[in-house]
Chains A and B, each alone.
Chain A
Amino acid sequence: MEPQASELGSAPQDVGPQDVGMPQIDFATFPNQIFWLVVTLVVIYLILSRMALPRIAAVLAERRGTITNDVARAEELKRKAEEAEEAYQKALADARTEAARIVDRTKAEMQERLDEAMAKADAEIAARTAESEQRIAGIRKDADAAIEEVARDTVKAVLESMGHKADGRSVNAAVSARLKQGDAA
């Protein structure tokens, strides 16, 4: 195998088609390839296991930690926001009830005052009406008395002019009876 290998190295493009065969089965190069392969693999392994992989693992772990923390913080903030929302809604509802209560109370107060004023007005109206009626009654009584007086005087005058001596008492009685009759009619 050794001579063939050196032949290959020395004259790859000689006259005509140089038959290199399959360099893969040129066993003379095997020790060389295997040696350099082992060196390469050891170097890669050392770089990976000592430096690259721990570094990448650390970065990934740190990122996972950061993400977990951020998610936890976000959840905390969300919870706080929900609590604030709840408090706000509660305050809003309280304010609504309070407002409704105030409205009701004011309405009742106003109704009360209105009722009071109405009652007072009614009472005054009733008083004035009664007073007026009383005065009307007084006026009517006076009128009635005046009528009786006039009637009596007229009767006396008529009787005297006809030559009769008017008997005061009987005239009074007759006029009263006649007036009462007229009232009844």
Chain B
Amino acid sequence: MAEQTGGFVIKPMDQFVVKPLFGGDVVHWYTPTNVTLWMALTVLAITVLLMLGTRGRAIVPTRGQSMAELSYGFIHKMVEDVAGKDGLRFFPYIMTLFMFILFANLLGLIPFAFTTTSHIAVTAVLALTVFISVTVLGFVLHGAKFLKLFWVDSAPLVLRPVLAIIELISYFARPVSHSIRLAGAMMAGHAVAKVFAGFAGALGVASFVPILAVTALYALELLVAAIQAYVFTILTCVYLRDALHPSH
């Protein structure tokens, strides 16, 4: 992927390499790597926002407490609106997902940071966890009636088998799109930023053009970081609603 044009080298994908933190070459499953570091920082950031911000338990909130309450209220309302009132018992899980993705995305925008959510391994685990738990939940709550999700009662009888096949395929495509959307958006943005930054190093005086471009791109990436966290969470709520109320 690294390009060699003229005399300079751009390695946009180097930022995604998983490296052991304390030297060595081999990445075992337990090795503390940059993944470990940035996930730990994510946990720290979430704790600072939600615990440190609310430690006053004030009736009139401080700025930090307001932010914590806003994020709580935002996801709580999303779960209630999309998945319904009975979806609220899964609120802590969905809040965990949202806070992790949001802070991993945002921390990844710090220069020289490692973006854990740009890796398909991470997003696939997240998406598969949602997919499997939602499917299991659907069968546990409704038994075989959960299959009605694929049997469109409102369609003409002849069309129903065809629709069932399409619904089934789209159901199994969910985790794929769910995970690739997030990882793809993160990876693409960071790679493009790195390419522009590489140009800035090589163009001399004219480098203000790529610097402007990186600035604009950075603003866009901030937006994407928040939106992708939002999209992942709201899709989770939609899938949860299907499991709770499978009839169309």
Interface residues of A (CB under 8 A from B): 5-6, 8-10, 12-13, 16-26, 28-41, 43-45, 47-49, 51-53, 55-60, 62-63, 66
Contacts and interface: CB of A to CB of B under 8 A. Distances in A.
B125 A34 contact: yes
B235 interface: no
Given A5-B27, A19-B2, A40-B100, 10 more contacts: A9-B19, A17-B9, A24-B187, A25-B120, A28-B27, A33-B119, A51-B51, A58-B57, A59-B61, A59-B69
B34 to A, nearest CB: 10
Interface SS majority for chain A: helix
Nearest to A40: B39
Contact of B1 (A9, A20, A39, A63): A20
A41 B125 CA distance: 11
B65 A52 contact: no
Contacts of B47: 47, 52
A124 to B, nearest CB: 89
Contacts of A30: 121
B56 to A, nearest CB: 9
Contacts of B228: none
B43 A40 contact: yes
Interface in B108-132: 116, 118-122, 125-126
Given A32-B27, A52-B51, A60 B72 contact: yes
Contacts of B30: 32, 35
Contacts of A36: 33, 35-36, 39
Interface of B: 1-4, 9, 11, 13-14, 16-20, 24-31, 33, 35-36, 39-40, 42-43, 46-47, 50-51, 54, 57-59, 61, 65, 68-69, 72-73, 91-93, 95-96, 99-100, 116, 118-122, 125-126, 183, 187
Given A45-B93, A48-B92, A22 B13 contact: yes
B39 A37 contact: yes
Given A32-B29, A33-B119, A47 B11 contact: no
Nearest to A65: B59
Contacts of B50: 47-48, 52, 56
B103 to A, nearest CB: 9
23 contacts: A5-B26, A17-B2, A19-B1, A20-B11, A20-B13, A23-B17, A24-B121, A29-B33, A31-B28, A33-B116, A33-B121, A37-B116, A45-B96, A47-B47, A49-B96, A52-B50, A52-B68, A56-B54, A58-B57, A59-B58, A59-B61, A62-B59, A63-B59
